[in-house]
A and B are shown apart, each in its own frame.
Chain A
Amino acid sequence: MTADRLTYPHRRFGLDHDWFVHESTFKRGPLVWPEAKRIALWITVPIEFFPLDAPALPVRPLGGLDRGYPDFWSYSNRDYGTRIGVYRIMRVLDGLGLRATATVNATVATRFPRVIDEIMRRNWEIAASGIDMGHVHHGKLELTAERELIQTTRDTLSKSSGKRVAGWHSPGHSESPNTLMLLAENGFEYVTDWANDDVPYMMKTAAGPLCAMPLTYEWSDRVLLVHHNLTVEDYEAQVLQAFERLHAEAGRLGSGRILSLSISPWILGYPHRIGMLERLLRKILATGSVWRATGMEIADTFKRQMPSTI
């Protein structure tokens, strides 16, 4: 009964799976950003739809409605993001000359096409983020069903934006064993679900390679402000500490780092937080050490300089 608890079929050099190899962040070749800037500032704006009837199992993403059906209260709080918050964030970013990568639920394109228009008008990047926050990818999802989710998402967003969509973020950072392969199979070039590095690295799948991009999780607004209930001052201080550390490491290593900032319209788009966001971005930009980049621009730069070790 307990025998399999004492056998270790994947105990070997390297990792216990084949999606990528182990590499120390600090022993990799140097990354050089344009104009030798130390930090690539990668702003992602998740544009999300949280359905009222989303299933709670097997995975509820952070931010998923949790007060019992029908949770109008939480639904409308998230909905604030696509009505108000996202436009407030656009004004701030416009004012600072910043573009973002919008990680978009496909449902947003059909329900709120105005958001897509405003994103495209600003020449932001659109990355796909599944159907919506009620369609989470997970290990119990059938291969064909997941393939359809990914293709529908890709087709909806590329039609709506008029552009090819090359980046992917799974709702709630949640994948099945097939997700990476299906993303490569369907033309995606980078994925942002794995929170294990500060810089990009290459993944391999049966359908070809993928670039793993380091979307922040630990100092994201939804972890610090929603999950841990911290204040905006605490959020700001921690992001600045991350920036200072990565900035110093970039100098010491002679290798560019990434400050990944996830700005959720239903969190930072509120009037009591947006002022902090603008102040924070001004402080970061004032260092003069920042390359303002989208996800695809960073991934392309990485791939040119550090071809896959796989």
Chain B
Amino acid sequence: MLTEPGRYDYLPLIDRPIIRWPNGARVAFWVAPNIEFYEIDPPDGQGRPLWPRPYPDVLNYSLRDYGNRAGVWRVMEALERFGIRASVSLNAAICDHIPEIIDECLRLKWELFSHGIYNTRLISGLSEDEVRQVIADSVETIKWHSGQDVAGWLAPAISATEAFFDLLPEFGIKYTIDMVPDDQPIPIKVRQGRLISIPYSSEINDIRVMGVRGYPADNWAAMMKASFDQLYREGADNGMVACMPLHPFVIGQPHRIAALHDVLKHVTSYDGVWFATAREIADWYYEHHYDEVVRFQASAKASGA
């Protein structure tokens, strides 16, 4: 077993290259709705139970299904109102089951990236070739339904194998959000090709704040705004990334959706914010900063820092 991921170098906040976003923006802000399909009867033997109750777990299945029947449309309406395009962490099977959601994502010019096939199909314990099958299937499915070349990856239900990062570039994937060690993009070491990590968040994720901890939506909105404001201040010196992870079955509830409008109103009231998709952030970073950061890390290592 690994003691550390071994995928990125130590790069302290106080000693690293300066990131500059387009038009001198301080913060790149991106929104990541997780549009997910949870199977009602997933296969056993995945290392952990997928549902807390025996088949059929009507309560927990239906709470998630709420996102696809009702919640996602509220999230879409809010983001469209504020002119913000999202980058969707997409279980590819949504393309097959509920294509009307994909159609609307395309109308809104949202980016779609891979969140595996189903949220009830973990990659844990799969062989490299099996993980390749999952990545390929998701990339091809999304391409077929949307025409988009998938650029990003988040493993379904935060599952993992030691080596899956190495396989992502084989399928044209440029960024991962499977780790959350930083507020800026960072290079990820892979066997072949290049990969970067784009900042995501476990801390201010709606599912953790409101779903697990049960905070009222107003408290989540306050956390989102505080996080954004802090990154905005720091971004005067070094460009930061602020991510808003969402789950339509959580934030899309009628007793919570006003808080999303509240956060969007706040972040759109600032100058110097780059409202980007994750793909755009990745492309910019590769073009302007990737080589510099890799060189900086190499020389820091060489000087024994």
User: A residues bordering B, Cβ < 8 Å?
Assistant: 1-2, 4-6, 8, 10-17, 22-27, 58-59, 138-140, 170, 172-177, 193-198, 217-219, 223-224, 227-230, 234, 237-239, 241-242, 244-246, 249
In contact, A138 and B53 (Cβ under 8 angstroms): yes
At the interface with chain A, which of B234-242, B249-257, B265-273? B249-257
Q: How far is the CB of B257 from chain A (nearest CB, A)?
A: 6
Q: CB within 8 Å of A: which of B118-168?
A: 118, 121-122, 125-127, 130, 133-134
Interface size on B, residues (CB 8 A): 49
In contact, B98 and A196 (Cβ under 8 angstroms): no
In contact, A238 and B56 (Cβ under 8 angstroms): no
In contact, B58 and A242 (Cβ under 8 angstroms): no
Q: How far is the CB of A129 from chain B (nearest CB, A)?
A: 14
Partner of B62, one of A4, A59, A196: A196
In contact, A58 and B68 (Cβ under 8 angstroms): no
In contact, B59 and A193 (Cβ under 8 angstroms): yes
Q: How far is the CB of B46 from chain A (nearest CB, A)?
A: 6
In contact, B255 and A6 (Cβ under 8 angstroms): no
Report how far A239 CA is from B216 CA in the complex, Å: 11
Report how far A245 CA is from B127 CA in the complex, Å: 47
Question: Is B112 an interface position by the 8 A CB rule?
Answer: no
User: B residues bordering A, Cβ < 8 Å?
Assistant: 37, 39-41, 43, 45-46, 53-56, 58-59, 62-63, 65-66, 68-70, 73, 93, 96-100, 117-118, 121-122, 125-127, 130, 133-134, 213-218, 253-258
Report how far A196 CA is from B125 CA in the complex, Å: 32
Chain A residue with the shortest CB-CB distance to B51: A139
Q: Which of B41, B56, B68, B258 has the most CB of A within 10 A?
A: B56
In contact, A241 and B217 (Cβ under 8 angstroms): yes
In contact, A245 and B97 (Cβ under 8 angstroms): no
In contact, B217 and A230 (Cβ under 8 angstroms): no
For A227, list chain B residues within 8 Å (CB): 214
Report how far A138 CA is from B125 CA in the complex, Å: 29
Q: Which of B73, B125, B255 has the most CB of A within 10 A?
A: B255
